[in-house]
Structure 1
Amino acid sequence: MLKVEDIHVYYGAIHAIKGISLEVPQGKIVTLIGANGAGKTTTLNTICGLTKPKSGKIFFEGKDITGVDTQNIVRLGLTQVPEGRRIFANMPVYENLELGAFLNKDKKQVAQDMERVYARFPRLLERKHQLAGSLSGGEQQMLAMGRALMSRPKLLLLDEPSMGLSPILVKEIFSIIKELNEQGTTILLVEQNAKMALSIADKGYVVETGRIVMAGDAQELLESPEVKKAYLGG
């Protein structure tokens, strides 16, 4: 579904991404793991058009989307849930969700999608008129994911969904990610919690200083001595 070929990204003179290539097959969960500053978020931002690569190609469903602007990438069915959630704190929950559907002019469809999001995240329904900034961290993450689902994504890019959450909420968010995948959404997941990410993923890539240093079946990476030593505290 997604193919990234040898992308190079620079921030001024800094060579942030040094020839990353990866593939996300349809219907799978693929995860990028690695330390802070390894280039995981930059990779996601480049895929969804927020950052332009200096060279390399990005294909989504066989179509070259390199350099296409973000709005048109969302139209194609590729949506990102950004790191830090980026919700609109001074707007109520339901307005945040409506913004996720800004490209959809079919009001009936938007209303149906809203019902689906509320069914998946009952807490958002309970708090639909509350200001988004008054929600807990876990609820804000659910809101960010719900808002992304309003755009009817075929591929969901999730950037550090567990960041700042309690262990119990981390489990909840990961089980939601797995459910979304089981219902047909393909997922590219960036996570510092390597153990959780690899436990639900089909395939994993290890990113270090802008390069992919290991790739393979998620279960194999979970059991790899190098990955255990570097990322799993063993």
Structure 2
Amino acid sequence: MALLEIKDLEVSYGIIKAIKGISFDVNEGEVIALIGANGAGKTTILHTITGLITADRGTVQFEGKEITKVPAHKIVGMGMAHVPEGRRVFANLTVLQNLKMGAYTRKDKNEIEKTLETVYTRFPRLKERQNQMAGTLSGGEQQMLAMGRALMSHPKIILMDEPSMGLSPIFVNEIFDIIQSVSASGTTVLLVEQNARKALSIADRAYVLETGNVVLEGKADELLHNDAIKKAYLGE
């Protein structure tokens, strides 16, 4: 049984059908990449999975339970975390306060402190800046904070939306190293990413979206060498 399973999902914005009956699955321990051009529907899919948008039709199942109509905060409590596009950190709160916001569904104070230390181990820069206002961090540091905040919920799966957007090449490499580290520690990853080459280089499998449809799927290393993918997304 897949950890996350999407079946026949349809989502509309008014008369515009953004997602047109897609189906895909994510198995425990995998890194799955969703790639495609702007407007393909990638972010809409993540928002629908995490309860921020209501589907017109279709189902989202997490650990065998349908969560299509479950409120977003309850989905977090079930073990799903979302790192949104644009980071969305709380600019007027400190780094530490942002991280603690990520654990708001948890009641196990001792375990929360252990998770915080784990996050600080993975992101030493956040520990150095724990009392700094999040809005004063660089873009790369804010991305680390958004990822650390998501990990504070102790998720089984983490959904990441464009984690490399607007970052310098050095920070991009660092962020992708961290994603691999998160995966290696046992957390499943569903990754939406414009940088198709980087996404495919760390993913196990990938789905290619065009205007709300899945047009191609397969093992990431095979898609990385697919001529159509190279031409459309890798600039070759």
Aligned equivalents of 1:84, 1:165: Cα separation in 2: 11
- Normalised to the residue count of structure 1, the TM-score between the two structures is 0.99
CA displacement at 1:209 relative to structure 2? 0.4
Aligned equivalents of 1:18, 1:174: Cα separation in 2: 30
CA displacement at 1:110 relative to structure 2? 1.4
Task: Name the structure 2 match of 1:79.
Answer: 81
Aligned equivalents of 1:113, 1:199: Cα separation in 2: 28
Aligned equivalents of 1:179, 1:107: Cα separation in 2: 25
Task: Name the structure 1 match of 2:6.
Answer: 4
Aligned equivalents of 2:78, 2:49: Cα separation in 1: 13
Structure 1 unaligned regions, length at least 5: none
Aligned equivalents of 1:132, 1:56: Cα separation in 2: 38
- Of 137, 143, 146 in structure 1, the residue corresponding to residue 148 of structure 2 is 146
Aligned equivalents of 2:177, 2:8: Cα separation in 1: 32
Counterpart residue identity of residue 218, structure 1: A
Task: Name the structure 2 match of 1:227.
Answer: 229
- Of 59, 68, 85 in structure 1, the residue corresponding to residue 70 of structure 2 is 68
Structure 2 unaligned regions, length at least 5: none
- Normalised to the residue count of structure 2, the TM-score between the two structures is 0.98
- Of 190, 193, 218 in structure 1, the residue corresponding to residue 192 of structure 2 is 190
The answer to whether the aligner puts 1:165 opposite 2:167 as a matched pair is: yes
SS at the partner of 2:192? Answer: strand
Counterpart residue identity of residue 160, structure 2: L
SS at the partner of 2:22? Answer: strand
Task: Name the structure 2 match of 1:117.
Answer: 119
CA displacement at 1:162 relative to structure 2? 0.2
Aligned equivalents of 2:53, 2:27: Cα separation in 1: 23
Aligned equivalents of 2:141, 2:119: Cα separation in 1: 13
Counterpart residue identity of residue 210, structure 1: G
Aligned-residue Cα RMSD (Å) equals: 0.6
Please list, as runs of the form range in 1=range in 2, the aligned pairs for 1:197-216 lying within 5 A after superposition: 197-216=199-218
Instruction: Say how many residue pairs are matched.
Output: 234
Q: Report percent identity of matched pairs.
A: 60
Aligned equivalents of 1:26, 1:6: Cα separation in 2: 21
Task: Name the structure 2 match of 1:23.
Answer: 25
Runs of 4+ in 1 over 4 A off after TM superposition: none
Task: Name the structure 1 match of 2:93.
Answer: 91
